[in-house]
Amino acid sequence: MTATGPALTPLPYRVVGRRDETADTAEIVLEPAGSALPPFVPGQFAMVYAFGVGDIPLSLSGIAGSRLTHTIRAVGAVSGALHGLQPGETAGVRGPFGTGWDLPTAAGRDLVIVAGGLGLAPLRPLVHQALAAPHRYGRLNLLIGARTPGDLLCTRDLDRWRAAGARVQITVDRPGDSWQGDVGVVTALLDRARFDPAGAAAFLCGPEVMIRGAARDLVHRGLAPDRIRISLERTMHCGTGHCGHCQLGPLLLCRDGPVVTWSRAEDLLAVREL
């Protein structure tokens, strides 16, 4: 590990907090059990190791000094093991890896943040960063889509974000009997977002079909493609650009991403199964 580079071997991090977000998703808070990793920035990811099982890439859903928060959905052996961690237990963490959201480049602009499903987790530190400097940015629009009301993440944050000035709108695909909000795809919420396309920046994370639809809609409304940043997902094994599993055309997403501009990704995402 260099002064500025990532840790390439896992360092022990202890679980100091845990909260169930949904039926299969939990928020796990980790802090160093010894040496700390170099600082992370919003949008980057870590390789998190469940001892004896394996490691997977996980974006940061919270950054507070050396304390790291991950929102983990149990979908496989490794994610299931990490999802089951309890306070006092230990995981291995290496990183930081990849590119960040680079919010400071959007200074003075309206912000449009579009999250689909679990994509809200990597965007959460970005929202906190923007709200911590309200005079540096314009209007903050946060558009959230979820499969059902029970799948909605960050429910404890929503009222605080609204009170801090964010315009938060939520839609679900399948409402329950008690749901009183919007139903449909998250891109439909763009009609009610308040932003000047000539002076806005957008940040998107979620299913790829949602990213493509939202980015194209934003370009149609007047946003320049290089002012739309998206976070992409591919299988990542090494985190250092050596194994090639996360290749997307000329990009290795663990190194050149996961955050890239729409101007860089649009043609690549138009190629089926690239």
Q: Are residues 222 and 263 in the same domain?
A: yes
- Of 97, 114, 148, at which residue does a domain stop? 97
Query: 88, exposed or middle or buried, with CB in 10 Å at 0-12, 13-18, 19+?
Result: exposed
Q: Are residues 128 and 254 in the same domain?
A: yes
Range(s) of the domain holding residue 16? 7-97
pTM of the model: 0.94
- Where are the alpha helices (H) located in 221-261, listed in sequence order? 253-256
* CATH number reported for the structural domain that contains residue 228 in this entry: 3.40.50.80
* CATH number reported for the structural domain that contains residue 43 in this entry: 2.40.30.10
Q: Are residues 152 and 33 in the same domain?
A: no
Q: Are residues 169 and 230 in the same domain?
A: yes
- Of 48, 72, 97, at which residue does a domain stop? 97
Query: Given the DSSP bridges, would you call strands 140-146 and 62-64 parallel, antiparallel or unpaired?
Result: unpaired
CB 14 within 8 A of CB 31: yes
Q: Are residues 144 and 217 in the same domain?
A: yes
**Residue 67, domain member (yes or no):** yes
Q: Are residues 108 and 124 in the same domain?
A: yes
pLDDT in tens, the chain (274 residues): 444 577 778 999 999 999 999 999 999 999 999 999 999 999 999 999 999 999 999 999 999 999 999 999 999 999 999 999 999 999 999 999 999 999 999 999 999 999 999 999 999 999 999 999 999 999 999 999 999 999 999 999 999 999 999 999 999 999 988 999 999 999 999 999 999 999 999 999 999 999 999 999 999 999 999 999 999 988 777 888 888 888 989 999 999 999 999 999 999 998 877 7
Q: State whether the Cα torsion 131-136-120-116 is positive or negative.
A: positive
**Residue 188, domain member (yes or no):** yes
**Domains held by the chain: number:** 2
Distances 168 to 127, 171, 200, 243 between C-alpha atoms, Å: 11, 10, 17, 39
**Residue 21, domain member (yes or no):** yes
Enter the tokens of residue 81. 């093991």
- Of 65, 97, 129, at which residue does a domain stop? 97
Residue 197 identity: P
Q: Are residues 30 and 113 in the same domain?
A: no
Q: Are residues 135 and 64 in the same domain?
A: no
